Amino acid sequence: MEKPIIVGVGMTPVGEHWRTSLRDLAVEAILKAMDDAGIDKVDSLYVGNMASGSFVEQENLGALIADWAGLGNIPAVKVEAACASGGAAVQEGAKAVLSGLEDVVLVVGVEKMTDAWPSDATRYLAYASDAEWELFHGVSFVALNALIMRHYMNTYGYTEEDLALFAVNAHANGAKNPYAMFKRPITVETVMKSPYIADPLKLFDASPVCDGAAAVIITIPEKAKELGIPKDKWVEIAGMGRAIDTINLANREDLLTLKAAKIAAEKAYKMAKVEPKDIDFFEVHDAFTVMAALSLEALGVAEKGEGAKLAKEGQIAIDGDYPIQTMGGLKARGHPVGATGVYQTVESVLQIRGEAPNGIQVPDAEIGLTQNIGGTGSNITVTILRRV
């Protein structure tokens, strides 16, 4: 059976788009992706989005965006998996193509967050946690991640400076990405001087509230040939995995193991017939610096408790053995939550095509992995992309 391929990608710059609506952001990314693929119609639309009903008081996004983009009377649906909505939407689009029911699928991830007051945005993001067991008691999403970070440091002996290295790496790469929200390198000192938002998490340990949209076109090789899409545009979706863990931390077997990521990665590796050592770069979900460390461990790149060690050794840099956040990640590119998984996919496609910006192109990149986290590790997707 032929595996699905991505034949077109598009994205908007990530930032504070005060004068651009959610629908216009989505359409901009869609038109770029369709132009990249050289097509003018698709069979269906999947929209990755976490909280449009809260942030902009708009649901029914499938119909809204398909109509606004002029896609005709196609089926269109929103996919929601908290902050992993984008990654889930990509996988749903791939499954639609694999089913044989649809030939050409469009996936767009979009989130418009900056229209909300900061206090409201904090509450909306906390909807990814357990409303009855966590949110009801006043805990924020940031606070939950701070608990995990404190436990990680206490258990393995790392310092705040050690984890700050993940942010430094992300900003070094984001500085060379024209689509990134933050285009300035930072130092460990920058991170350490930033204010605490939930001890030990500081402002520069966390990804920003922002807006953005990214889109991909998915089809199969036979259809791509029929449409005349050149092979240098093709990138194979070689493996996919998705899993959940307990939504609240109190019921988690181990706070320092992203069990859902581990299970999802195992599924993706098996489907793609690869191992962690075969992956040329990793786009992990660094909404908070500690999550980057835990993700590397769950993906089998580092032993348990040694994720932060890779950052200390410089292994996560573009020229390291395990490059991560090659275009800035959530920390520097930005984290428009429902769109993040699609941004990761677009960036991976550009790496594999050899079209990444100067200075952040991974040499001879053939296989990339994206990992998108919903909640505090409760809903996770892992997707492996490979050069055709």
Question: Which of the 8 DSSP states describes residue 302?
Answer: S
State whether the Cα torsion 132-135-138-144 is positive or negative.
positive
Length of the chain: 388
Report d(CA 191, CA 196) in Å as an integer.
10
Report yes or no: 298 and 304 within 8 Å, Cβ to Cβ: no
Residue 208 to residues 92, 129, 213, 259, 368, Cα–Cα distance (Å)? 27, 18, 15, 26, 24
Render 241-263 in DSSP notation, one character per residue: EEEE--SSGGG-S-TT--HHHHH
Ramachandran area for residue 190 (φ above 0: left; ψ -120 to 50: alpha; else beta): alpha
- Confirm whether 151 is a catalytic residue: no
Distance CA(81)–CA(11), nearest Å, equals 21
Q: Which residue among the candidates 17, 83, 210, 285 is catalytic per the annotation?
A: 83
Q: Is 210 a catalytic residue?
A: no
d(C-alpha 90, C-alpha 87), whole Å: 5
- Closest among 317, 327, 286, 322 to 173, alpha carbons compared: 327
**Active-site residue numbers?**
83, 335
